[in-house]
Structure formats: structure tokens, C-alpha cells
Chains A and B, each alone.
Chain A
Amino acid sequence: GAGVSQSPSNKVTEKGKDVELRCDPISGHTALYWYRQSLGQGLEFLIYFQGNSAPDKSGLPSDRFSAERTGGSVSTLTIQRTQQEDSAVYLCASRPGGAVETQYFGPGTRLLVL
């Protein structure tokens, strides 16, 4: 079946602009995650959605970052007033419900802030 998809695959923007990154999880997966992968760093957790529960936003680095998940499916990560340090690969992952499951990752969006 189809995997996790993300768009755009690459995004170049100017400092101060807002960007929106999209994630389409695997159909039927109730949990969705956003991570950030910076050069030479591991994956940094950003936010987690599970069904209709309130999202776990504890990983968002600043109030310029926000995310929503509409209809329990597609998610959008928004970065307002982008800064150069926001340049990274933003990864989305989804998993089925349940406590012990594997996350399935999308290809990521490579964001470059000039």
C-alpha cells in the first residue's frame, strides 16, 4: 500500500517568510509525528497527534512553529517568520494505534531558509 507522503520535497524560502509543510499519513494510521533532522544531528521530536486527543506539542522549538491535523488524516506543519536556523529536513511519521508499534517515515521536506 501507499506509504507516508510529504510535500513539497524541497522548499527554499527567504528569512521572515512563512512556510507550510504537508504530510499524508498511511491510511488508517491514527498516530502522526513530526520530527526535524538538522545536519549532523539526530531526529528531534516536534509534535505528536493521536486520534482526537490533544496533540503533544512539547517538542516545538518556539511559538513560530505550529501544526494541525484535519479530519484525523492530513497534517500541516507551519513555520512563521522563518529563520536560517530552521533549515533542516522535516520528517513526518505515522503508525497504527496501540502502544507498541513501529513508526513509518515519509521522505521528508528539505527546507532551506536563505
Chain B
Amino acid sequence: AQSVSQHNHHVILSEAASLELGCNYSYGGTVNLFWYVQYPGQHLQLLLKYFSGDPLVKGIKGFEAEFIKSKFSFNLRKPSVQWSDTAEYFCAVNARGNNRLAFGKGNQVVVIP
């Protein structure tokens, strides 16, 4: 079964700082990879996804993620965060042919103005 690890559950940083959230998964086969975001008081929404092709994926609001197959990682990055990026971020993995998403425990990110 696939599993997903996210480290540093709580992240506090200042505006304009760079953000990187780690995501590692355990599954040896082909996977689809996702980052979801949950802003305060809102429901989960897709930030970006990787199915195939270019391993560097661009998402909404200036976020990007890089799939490194050899490291089983899909880290999320943003060069310069804003206060509005305060949210909880979840990495999720779907093994090809499996209809489930396996989620990490999330990263609570607080951006201080």
C-alpha cells in the first residue's frame, strides 16, 4: 500500500521568504502526485498535479513542485510567499490503477506579514 510522509508539520515564515515543503512516498510503481491546499475556512482544493511528462510542475499562485523518481519525492516550492499563502498543504499520491488517494498528514504554514 502506498504511504505519504510530510515533515515539519508546522512552518512559520515571513512574507517574501521562500517555502519548500517535503513530500516522500513509498510505492515502487507508477504514481500520480498531487498537492492540495486548504485555506482557513475553505475546503480542499487542488494546487498542482503530476501525471507524466516534465517532472517540474507549475501550479496556481506561483507554486511549483518537482517529481524526483529516484528519491520518491514530490517537494512543493514557492520562491516568495505572501500572507495569503497561510494554509494547510497536503501531499497526495495515487498509484496507477488504484482508485485511492493516500494523503500525508499535512503542513500547517503560517506566513507572518
Contacts and interface: CB of A to CB of B under 8 A. Distances in A.
B and A form one assembly = yes
Interface of A: 31, 33, 35, 40-45, 48, 50, 56, 59, 91, 93, 99-100, 102-108
A43 B45 contact: no
Given A45-B101, A100-B51, A108 B46 contact: no
Contacts, number: 49
A91 B90 CA distance: 14
A103 B51 contact: no
A93 B103 CA distance: 14
A43 B32 contact: no
B43 A42 contact: no
Interface string B25-63: 000000010101000001111100101000000000000
A88 B67 CA distance: 32
B46 A102 contact: yes
Contacts of A91: 43-44
14 contacts: A35-B103, A41-B105, A42-B6, A42-B90, A42-B103, A42-B104, A43-B90, A43-B101, A43-B103, A44-B103, A59-B100, A91-B43, A91-B44, A99-B96
Interface residues of B, number: 25
Given A42-B4, A42-B90, A42-B106, A48 B43 contact: no
B97 interface: yes
A3 B46 CA distance: 13
B52 to A, nearest CB: 9
Contact of A45 (B51, B102, B106): B102
Nearest to B34: A102
Nearest to A58: B100
Given A42-B90, A108-B43, 8 more contacts: A42-B4, A42-B6, A42-B105, A43-B92, A99-B97, A105-B43, A105-B45, A106-B43
Contacts of B105: 40-42
Given A99-B97, A100-B51, A102-B49, A107 B103 contact: no
